[in-house]
Amino acid sequence: MKFEHKPVLLKECIEGLNVKPDGIYVDGTLGGAGHSKEILKKLSPNGMLIGIDRDEKALKAAKENLKDFQNVRFIHGNHDDIKNILGQLNIDKVDGILLDLGVSSYQLDERNRGFSYMGESNLDMRMDRSQKLTAEDVVNKYPEAELANIIYEYGEERFSRQIARNIAIERKKEPIKTTKQLVEIIEKSIPKSKQNNGHPAKRTFQAIRIEVNNEIKPLYDTVKNCIDCLTTGGRLCIITFHSLEDRAVKKAYVEAAKGNCTCPPDLPYCVCGAKSLGKIITRHPIVASEEEQKENSRSKSAKLRIFEKRGE
């Protein structure tokens, strides 16, 4: 299967990064390199793009898609480790960073990855196939209460407790190893009358995927680390697809703009000496146009927020 991931909010991201021809840019979620290719088109030979992805198949596809460009470095890693990655490359500051936190079409559609609730495959859901924790581990080994909390928090699933209860019952009989087994449990856990808002397994699968890949917990710190890695005037563009992701990004942006100010909110100006790290470019998140949403259904929940670093 060909690795394809139609870049979401492509024009908006490229404009938001405000690409300088000789600058250094990081695509922390390289994927099929749709965003990266457009960044590279704007770079001179003196500029550089660093593409990071934890999916080795994504990196392989990106190398093929970007084979005409010489000024790109490919890194198998996680954007959460951006400071270490840049340190190993002897790079102190960069001019822009892009994070697209969505799952690629390829990952969702590749049967043996276990991301999709359609069809039958092994319960895997790892973006980085070298990590140990899989969806099968989460479903079969997590305590029932913890599983219910994950499904509720990460999936915003109102029937989380019943789903977790039925998972606990079924896994006592035999291990739950396939997506089909899990879908059947979810379907019988949700009343038929409530199964009218998309596929009934969508929210639970999303929640388990987020847990397997630790997508939410480190995000706030990742945003702050990315801002630290920017040069003066550098831009950070982050696309989120989930309310928890968007909340974490928004919170980190607001605190960075305030400089962790501890003054009472009713004071007309800061007196505690906190220094702002920059400014939020997007007062409200940028969303996909109606035209893009029609062409790419996965863009419907996308939100882009942009932050610009100020001088230190």
Give the tens place of pLDDT for each residue, 277-307: 999 999 999 999 999 999 998 899 999 999 9
- Same domain membership, residue 174 and residue 122: yes
**pTM score above 0.75:** yes
Q: pLDDT per residue over 89-105, tens digit each? A: 999 999 999 999 977 66
For residue 28, the number of C-alpha atoms closer than 13 Å in the C-beta half-sphere is: 27
Does one domain contain both 197 and 142? yes
Do 159 and 227 belong to one domain? no
Q: Do 130 and 157 have their domain in common?
A: yes
Q: Are residues 91 and 148 both part of a single domain?
A: no
The DSSP-derived string for 202-260 is HHHHHHHHHHHTT-STTHHHHHHHHHHTEEEEEEEEEEE-SHHHHHHHHHHHHHHHHTS
In this predicted model, which residue has the larger pLDDT, 275 or 210?
210
Tell me which of 145, 179, 212 is where a domain ends. Answer: 212
What pLDDT does residue 205 have? Answer: 95
Domain co-membership, 208 together with 251: no
Specify whether 89 is located in the same domain as 137.
no
Residues 30 and 60 in one domain: yes
Give CA–CA dist 44/69, Å, rounded. 10
Our count of domains for the chain comes to: 2
Domain hosting residue 62, numbered range? 10-101+217-309
User: CATH number of the domain that 83 lies in?
Assistant: 3.40.50.150
